Amino acid sequence: MIAYEDFAKVDIRVGRITRAEPFPEARKPAIKLWVDFGDGIGVKRSSAQITRHYRPEDLAGKLVVAVVNFPPRQIGPVMSEVLVLGVPDADGEVVLLAPDLDVPLGGRMF
């Protein structure tokens, strides 16, 4: 078990995908994402293995939840700045986590 203080160190925020592109250079099928977290954080890049359920052209405007305080990670030619969160479906394919109502960008999960 972890203490609440440990969990509170993980900064999880809501953002809106502003741009999505195929990521053919990735080892596993993935999509490059640009996510806007609003004032203070701005637009951050990520890569997500979400090609089973999502097409790049359908992602712009979608709200997502992401960890914004992990260090950037190089994924092929892309520097991933945030970790977009999802859960596996019955086949192990990622389904994105998102609020079910419109909320302000940058809102912190607690």
Residue-wise pLDDT for 45-101, tens only, equals: 999 999 999 999 999 999 999 999 999 999 989 999 999 999 999 999 999 999 999
Nearest to 104 by CA among 38, 18, 5: 38
What's the CA angle centered on 17, arms 28 and 46, to 5 degrees? 40
Q: Collect all residues with Cβ–Cβ distance below 8 Å to 72 and sequence separation of at least 6.
A: 79, 80, 81
Residue 110: per-residue pLDDT: 83
Residue-wise pLDDT for 23-40, tens only, equals: 999 999 999 999 999 999
pTM: 0.95
Say how far apart CA 80 and CA 47 lie, in whole Å: 6
Contact 47, 75 (CB under 8 A): yes
Tokens of 75: 């994924």
Q: Per CATH, which fold does 13-96 belong to?
A: OB fold (Dihydrolipoamide Acetyltransferase, E2P) (2.40.50)
